[in-house]
Structure 1
Amino acid sequence: MQWVLTLFVIGAAFATVRPLGLEGRGLAVAALLVVNSLALAARHLPEAGVPPRADLVWMTLGIVAAAALIGVSRSGSSYLFAYFLVGHAGFRLPVGRAVTLAVLCSLLCGGVLYFRIGPGHHLLPWALGLTTGLPVVVGIVNRSRRRAVTAAIEAAESAERAARAEARTAVLTERGRIARDVHDVLAHSLAGINMQLELADALLDTGDLEKVRAANQKAHSMVKESLKQAQWTVHALREDSLPLVESLTALIDSSGHRDALTVTGTVREVPSRATQNLLRIAQESLTNAARHAPGGEVRVELAFAAGSTTLKVRNSPATRAVRTGVGSGMGLIGMRERAALLGGTITAGPVTEGPDEGGWQVEAVIPG
């Protein structure tokens, strides 16, 4: 559309402005028409490709040429160049420079007609020359509108990028949570079952069928426990709510440490997310105790305070030989990640005093 208007103004000027020829005044008119046409066509150059100072120079020259064309020509639409150039100055230049050029154009064009310079002064009133600066207002308004639209588009794009980044972060967070749940259910259960099956395989060579049967039964019980843990994992992924105290009691009992839980403070409902993570931390601690301190006594304490919930899992030293095995190395890391997701902390280390000296303790403090 802009090019159509430009070509229309140029075509109308060459069709109507007179005299037009190759000598005398006609040659001057032709030269000024060419200069005005080039100045008007230059408004289609990309802003990024033209320095601001060059913009100011060619628009100033174009306005001077437009005023000169009004003075030299005898008739025609030569004044259209001035209107369009001033309007584009308001769109392309800063407000101060654009207004200055508009005032200059009004004074030049109005002066040409007022002082009756040139043969065509009688056809146009001098006040018309003063109005050639008015299109600068339209240009400034269009410039402001374009900036507003550009700012809105950039804001929308920025919001879209932020939304995509947030979605990627949420996906990575959820992947981490699922990875921890898979580790808790599969790694722990399969490691324990594997230990019992290896023990049964070793006992076959001794001919002690009672011990083989006991190891086999232990493996079966661990399979059942794994099914329970799988159900808990499904609940966690669905964000179903589990009662903390009852679920923790069942978890401890299934690990073979009955009546090992002590609850202090006023029991209250804990958010589902906190419940799931505390249960996983307890499960990890109990599994590590069974792996690294077989036969040792385990004590679990759940304390409800005004602003936090604390879980302690402490085990005494091993009373049976520790079977060497390869762990995943992700247990303590997973516990720390779970606590961090809830804004809490994990401390883990050896017990240095008391009846459980030489054992290990894990303490998780979760706010709220």
Structure 2
Amino acid sequence: MPAAEPASSPASVPPHRVEPRSMPGRDPRMQWVLTLAVIGAGILTIRPMGFSGWGLAVAVLFVLNCLALLARGLPEARVTERVAVVWLSLGIVASAALIATGRGGSTYLFAFFLAGHVGYRLRTRPAVVLALSCSLLCGAVLYFHLGPGHHLVPWEIGLATGVPVLVGIANRSHHQAVRSALSAAESAESAARAEAQAAVLTERSRIARDVHDVLAHSLAGINMQLELADALLDTGDLEKVREANGKAHSLVKESLKQAQWTVHTLREDSLPLLESLTAMLASSGHRDALTVTGTVREVPAQVTQNLLRIAQEALTNAARHAPGGDVGVELTFAASSTTLRIRNRAATRPVDAGVGSGMGLIGMRERVALLNGTLTTGPVTEEPDQGGWQVEAVIPQ
């Protein structure tokens, strides 16, 4: 029989999660390199910077701009949108003030980079409003010659400081699409893992039914005959002891046949339904019991396996509870379904089967339910099979 579960089943594989920092198109190292480059350019070119007077004011504004720019590295989860709006607004005001107070060709770079981050960090509407404010502030500072460095930077560049917001918006849209794709992939992976786990449990249930079908009936009968033989030894009736021993041997042989059929039906390369059922009936002594109706067609392997197990269970029950009774098997291929009907007549020999486990009928119902079919069982009330038992499984096409 196949193993119940492989050593490394799909359900045992840990899920793979992609952290935000490793998302395509977002490299924190590059962001830090650009930030440090802007700060370095400011240190080298922006003047005056000192510890008193006008130089102190420029130095303070430069530090504020550096802090606003460095804050871009804060994780989005730790900064609410309201806090981000306040921080970026103050950063833009500080960058416009640095353009107004400092001299140097790199004063506008802080405004450019902050405007780009506004587009990435905020929703589109507040991002556009804030970027437009940045353009108007920086453009007005240079246009009205409010600072000593207006002759170094044209006012058109100040007006363009809000343009990078478009790059930020595009980058944010791309990252949102990547996050959605990753989330969908994780959901699909979780669904696949759940499906694999369900498949493992279904396979375990199927093998449990097969083990029951092969072992439960036969081992119970063998045990009963051996206990009978053991009890008869005390009476000295050797004839009855031999009879019980012979029945036990017959049950062992029958169990071997059933085990062979179980292995056969569990194999993926099992024979077609009609050939398999014909061979099963021949090996169980019912060579001419099969009647086929309709156009024979191939059915899925799962349908074949479950119908064969139902037939085997029904034949075993017939031999146990109605020994000597004739058995008839009908296989009907209709346009929308495949029907298997097993009917046995009443027993013609004494019934000595003991009490069954009651799992056989449950197993048959489970098999039919897996195929979305219906199972009908019960006594036969019409002639000529009155007093017998019938099992009918209907599997939709």
**TM more than 0.5:** yes
Task: Please name the residue that 2:110 is paired with.
Answer: 81
SS of corresponding position for 1:200? helix
Q: Does 1:201 align with 2:230?
A: yes
Q: Is the 8 A contact 1:105 1:132 kept in 2?
A: yes
Q: Is the 8 A contact 2:278 2:290 kept in 1?
A: no
Deviation digits for residues 34-86 of structure 1, max 9, x if unmatched? 22122112111111111111111111111111111111113352211111111
SS of corresponding position for 2:294? coil
Post-superposition shift, 1:173?
2.0
SS of corresponding position for 2:48? coil
Task: Please name the residue that 1:265 is paired with.
Answer: 293
Taking the aligned partners of 2:318 and 2:378, their CA distance within structure 1 comes to: 12
The letter for the 2-side match of 1:194 is N
- Cα 1:74/1:283, change in 2 over 3 Å: closer
- Cα 1:291/1:145, change in 2 over 3 Å: same
Structure 2 counterparts to residues 197-346 of structure 1, below 5 A: 197-242=226-271, 244-245=273-274, 247-249=276-278, 251-252=280-281, 255=284, 261-266=289-294, 268-271=296-299, 272-294=301-323, 298-316=327-345, 323=352, 325=354, 327-346=356-375
Post-superposition shift, 1:129?
0.9
Taking the aligned partners of 2:309 and 2:47, their CA distance within structure 1 comes to: 93
TM-score (norm 2): 0.82
Deviation digits for residues 256-299 of structure 1, max 9, x if unmatched? 6675x251523624434333322211221233334444565544
Task: Please name the residue that 1:361 is paired with.
Answer: 390
Deviation digits for residues 195-244 of structure 1, max 9, x if unmatched? 33334334444544444434333332332222222222222222233354
The letter for the 2-side match of 1:46 is P
Structure 2 counterparts to residues 57-72 of structure 1, below 5 A: 57-72=86-101
Task: Please name the residue that 1:3 is paired with.
Answer: 32
- Cα 1:204/1:241, change in 2 over 3 Å: same
Counterpart pick for 2:58 among 22, 29, 32:
29
Structure 2 counterparts to residues 32-47 of structure 1, below 5 A: 32-47=61-76
Identity %: 72
Taking the aligned partners of 1:170 and 1:34, their CA distance within structure 2 comes to: 61
Segment drifting more, 109-118 vs 245-254:
245-254
Q: Does 1:130 align with 2:183?
A: no
RMSD: 2.7
- Cα 1:243/1:88, change in 2 over 3 Å: closer
Q: Is the 8 A contact 1:315 1:359 kept in 2?
A: yes
- Cα 1:6/1:291, change in 2 over 3 Å: same
Larger RCO (alpha carbons 8 Å, 6+ apart): 2
Taking the aligned partners of 1:137 and 1:267, their CA distance within structure 2 comes to: 68
The letter for the 2-side match of 1:59 is L
Counterpart pick for 2:192 among 163, 166, 174:
163
The letter for the 1-side match of 2:151 is H
Taking the aligned partners of 1:158 and 1:351, their CA distance within structure 2 comes to: 52
Post-superposition shift, 1:361?
2.8
Post-superposition shift, 1:113?
0.9
Task: Please name the residue that 1:105 is paired with.
Answer: 134
Task: Please name the residue that 1:118 is paired with.
Answer: 147
The letter for the 1-side match of 2:90 is L
Taking the aligned partners of 1:58 and 1:26, their CA distance within structure 2 comes to: 24
Aligned length: 367
TM-score (norm 1): 0.88
Taking the aligned partners of 1:246 and 1:51, their CA distance within structure 2 comes to: 70
Post-superposition shift, 1:94?
1.4
Taking the aligned partners of 2:293 and 2:199, their CA distance within structure 1 comes to: 35
